[in-house]
């Protein structure tokens, strides 16, 4: 299975689940639902966020979502994360064990629900083996200065 490149995985406001970036379109982006496999064109007005650009607050600052997923995977082995329908207490307990440095004041239960939902979608429909910037540089020939 290929490594998951979080730069190509999108969360789209108002849409269920996650989407894989397919290509640029004249009026926006073509993306495929990881849950249904259906492709749609999302206009430039759609609020799309690449999972690569998301971080969570910790006691030391912020850590990228990929690092959060890696900590969750190390903690869970190959098991699923708790459901996003879990109780707030259950989610807080899970994050206090998997990502102990998370910021209790600024990383809300609503965020936790999204993170566990996304983790379980990736686990089910992609790979929890993530592409790193080094992998991308090797394939696209670009280097960061």
pLDDT digits (tens, 9 = 90+) for 71-92: 999 999 999 999 999 999 999 9
The model's pTM is 0.89
- Candidates 13, 18, 12; CA nearest to 122 is 18
Nearest-angstrom CA–CA distance, 62 and 66: 12
Does the pLDDT at position 119 exceed 80?
yes
Nearest-angstrom CA–CA distance, 49 and 114: 13
Domain span at residue 77 reads 58-125
Count how many domains the chain has.
1
∠ CA 100-106-117, nearest 5°, is 70
- 32-71 tens-digit pLDDT: 999 999 999 999 899 999 999 999 999 999 999 999 999 9
Q: How many other C-beta atoms lie within 10 A of the C-beta of residue 58?
A: 17
For residue 36, is it within any domain?
Answer: no
For residue 132, is it within any domain?
Answer: no
Q: What are phi and psi of 28, to 5 degrees?
A: 155, -130
* Residue 16 DSSP code: S
CATH at 64: 1.10.10.1650
Nearest-angstrom CA–CA distance, 43 and 41: 6
For residue 68, is it within any domain?
Answer: yes
């Amino acid at each position: 299975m290929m490594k998951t490149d979080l730069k190509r995985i999108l969360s789209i406001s108002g849409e269920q689940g996650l989407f894989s970036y397919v290509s640029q379109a004249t009026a926006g982006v073509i993306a495929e639902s990881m849950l249904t496999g259906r492709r749609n064109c999302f206009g430039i007005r759609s609020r799309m966020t690449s999972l690569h650009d998301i971080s969570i607050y910790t006691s030391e600052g912020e850590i990228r979502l990929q690092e959060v997923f890696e900590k969750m995977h190390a903690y869970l082995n190959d098991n699923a994360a708790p459901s996003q329908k879990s109780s707030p207490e259950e989610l807080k307990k899970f994050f206090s064990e998997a990502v102990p440095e998370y910021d209790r004041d600024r990383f809300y239960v609503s965020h936790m629900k999204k993170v566990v939902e996304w983790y379980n979608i990736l686990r089910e429909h992609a790979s929890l083996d993530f592409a790193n910037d080094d992998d991308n540089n090797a394939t696209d020939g670009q280097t960061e200065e």
